Amino acid sequence: MRIRDVRATTVTVPLEAPLRHSNGAHWGRFVRTIVEVETDDGRLGVGEMGGGGESAEAAFRALKPYLLGHDPFDLTALQFKIMNPTASLYNNRTQLHAAIEFACLDLVGQKLGVPVYQLLGGKVRDRVPFASYLFFRYPGEGGEPEVRTPEQLVAHASELKRRHGFTVHKLKGGVFPPDYELDCYRALAEAFPQDRLRYDPNAALSVEEAVRFGRAIADLNNDYYEDPTWGLNGMRRVRERVAVPLATNTVVVSFEQLAANILQPAVDVVLLDTTFWGGVRACLKAAAVCETFQLSVSVHSSGELGVQLATMLHLGALLPNLVFPADAHYHHLTDDIIVGGKLPYVDGAIAVPAGPGLGVQVDPEKLARYADLYREVGGYMYDRDPGRPEWYPLVPNTRWADPSLPGLPLDERVTRP
């Protein structure tokens, strides 16, 4: 089995509503690149990467000289061919490699007639549990209400819990002043006393603000406190002064950073992302290092469609040390590009696909439809907020409520709408 062709297609799939975060927003849709790897025996493996557009598609085309004729079974060779760590000064192919690795794992699984989890050690669970991923949202085009006040947030979480069965709630913060978000977080704790919580302001807080916030939530049912501040040293200073476990998907995303975190601990929970780490196999290797040093792991979401979700499900199925439910943006999507539509949540979990390879197939009609939509509407600026276009954050962000800033609507200056 040899690779004969590689195709990358940018798609955009609508979200129920724009999702706000500390840097800006997801503007009501996700932009993703779907990668199809075709072999000389007529098989089609699929991969996925965040973002897209001409430059992403060109980056995959530029890998063809490395990939054409390559045997998808040769996964270690693939990694060194396109992601040699000593060449990483000159290229940045980690995420490209991840997408190609997903497709190769899919091809190998198809060829052998087994699911990806079976190739990589066998599953230890049939379903992967997920947290509800709560965002402050602008109103959706389909009439979905704004999520902004504590009452709206609790109503939104209640609806997600009713529909999908979540018992863990993650609040994506860093949007409003910390005291306001503290009110929101405590409102969730009060509304769902049996459930667990996690807060992630995307590293927007100063160390001192992060310590203050962390102490103010320490009495609640917290899974962990995710990336309250930026950098290993900042996280280490917070960890010394806050009792809640710290988690990250920003400061430990490579083996070198993982080693640094073991030598001088800064975080307790490493959130493994099949794209950021460079593939499912890299995540398994990182998870094994974490297991050795008794660090907890979970599965991070960088905004997935069904192909990437399948990689997260196989990873989640494989991890003996999946201590916390995974994260997914998936329930905010209105549709998917895989055959059969969106994979369902049952009791807060999604079943691990049992078919050969990744166990999901791209629906050609949906791929074409959402590629057309991308051509029609283009990309968006993830690090800009459509509701306040002139605004950008500092790190740490001290501009929540600065009335002198252009583009900051008056009602964002108050701590409580």
Considering only the stretches 14-22, 30-38, 220-228, 352-360, report the one whose residues sit in contact with Mg ion under the rule CB under 5 A. 220-228
Beta bridge partners of 43: none
Specify whether the CB–CB gap between 133 and 353 falls below 8 A. Answer: no
- Considering the complex, what minimum distance in angstroms separates the CB of residue 249 from Mg ion? 4
- Tokens read off for 149: 């006040």
Residue of 161, 300, 331, 332 marked catalytic: 300
Find the part of the chain contacting Mg ion (CB under 5 A) among 113-121, 158-166, 218-226, 255-263: 218-226
Q: Which is nearer to Mg ion, 299 or 349 (CB)?
A: 299
Give the nearer residue to Mg ion in terms of CB position, either 23 or 249. Answer: 249
Nearest to 268 by CA among 241, 284, 248, 291: 248
Q: Which run of H or E residues covers position 35? A: strand 29-39
* CB of residue 300 to Mg ion, shortest distance in Å: 7
79/57 Cα distance (integer angstroms) = 19
Q: Provide the token pair at 372.
A: 């057309």
Q: Answer whether 293's CB lies under 8 Å from 258's CB.
A: no
CB of 349 to Mg ion, least distance (A): 21
When the beta carbons of 116 and 286 are compared against Mg ion, the nearer one is 286
| Residues 86 to 145 in contact with Mg ion, rule: CB under 5 A | none
Contacting range for Mg ion; rule: CB under 5 A; set: 210-218, 226-234, 238-246, 400-408: 226-234
Q: What's the closest the beta carbon of residue 221 comes to Mg ion, in angstroms? A: 19
Closest CA to 400 of 184, 211, 181: 181
With a CB cutoff of 8 Å and minimum separation 6, the contacts of 71 are 1, 2, 3
Q: How many residues does the chain have?
A: 417
Taking contact as CB under 5 A, which single stretch among the options 80-88, 219-227, 339-347, 360-368 is the one that binds Mg ion?
219-227
Kindly indicate which of the ranges 124-132, 157-165, 192-200, 345-353 contains the residues binding Mg ion, using the contact rule CB under 5 A: 192-200
DSSP per residue, 100-122? HHHHHHHHHHHHHT-BHHHHTT-
Residue 59 or 246: the one with the smaller Cβ distance to Mg ion is 246
Among residues 172, 314, 332, 366, the one annotated as catalytic is 172
Min dist. Cβ of residue 171 to Mg ion (A): 11
Our separate counts of H helices and E strands in the chain read: 13, 14
**Does residue 200 interact with Mg ion by CB under 5 A?**
yes
Binding-site residue total for Mg ion (CB under 5 A)?
A: 3
C-beta of 48 vs 226, nearer to Mg ion: 226
Q: How far apart are CB 286 and Mg ion at their closest, in Å? A: 16
Active-site residue 172, yes or no?
yes
Task: Tell me whether residue 64 is one of the annotated catalytic residues.
Answer: no
Q: Maximum Cα–Cα distance for the chain, whole Å?
A: 63
- Beta carbon of residue 363, minimum distance to Mg ion (angstroms, whole number): 30
Structure-token pair, residue 1: 């089995």
The interface with Mg ion within residues 354-413 (CB under 5 A) comprises none
Exposure string of 142-166, with b = 16+ CB inside 10 Å and e = fewer, is: eebeebbbbebbbebbeebbeebeb
Are 115 and 314 a contacting pair, CB within 8 Å? yes
Given the complex with Mg ion, which of 200 and 363 has the nearer CB atom? 200
Helix residue ranges per DSSP H, 140-197: 150-164, 178-191
CA atoms within 13 A on the CB side of 357: 23
Q: Fill in the per-residue mask, 229 to 268: x = in contact with Mg ion (CB under 5 A), - = not in contact.
A: --------------------x-------------------
* Token pair in block for residue 71: 């045997």
Rounded Cα–Cα distance for residues 357 and 212 (Å): 47
Q: Which residue number, 138 or 224, has a Cβ lying nearer to Mg ion?
A: 224
Alpha-carbon distance of 225 to 211, in angstroms, equals 11
Radius of gyration of the chain, Cα coordinates, nearest whole angstrom: 21
Q: Which is nearer to Mg ion, 249 or 298 (CB)?
A: 249
CB of 226 to Mg ion, least distance (A): 5
Count other C-beta atoms under 10 Å from residue 405's C-beta.
Answer: 15
Structure token pair of residue 326? 């995974």
**Catalytic sites, residue numbers:** 172, 300
Residues that bind Mg ion (CB under 5 A): 200, 226, 249
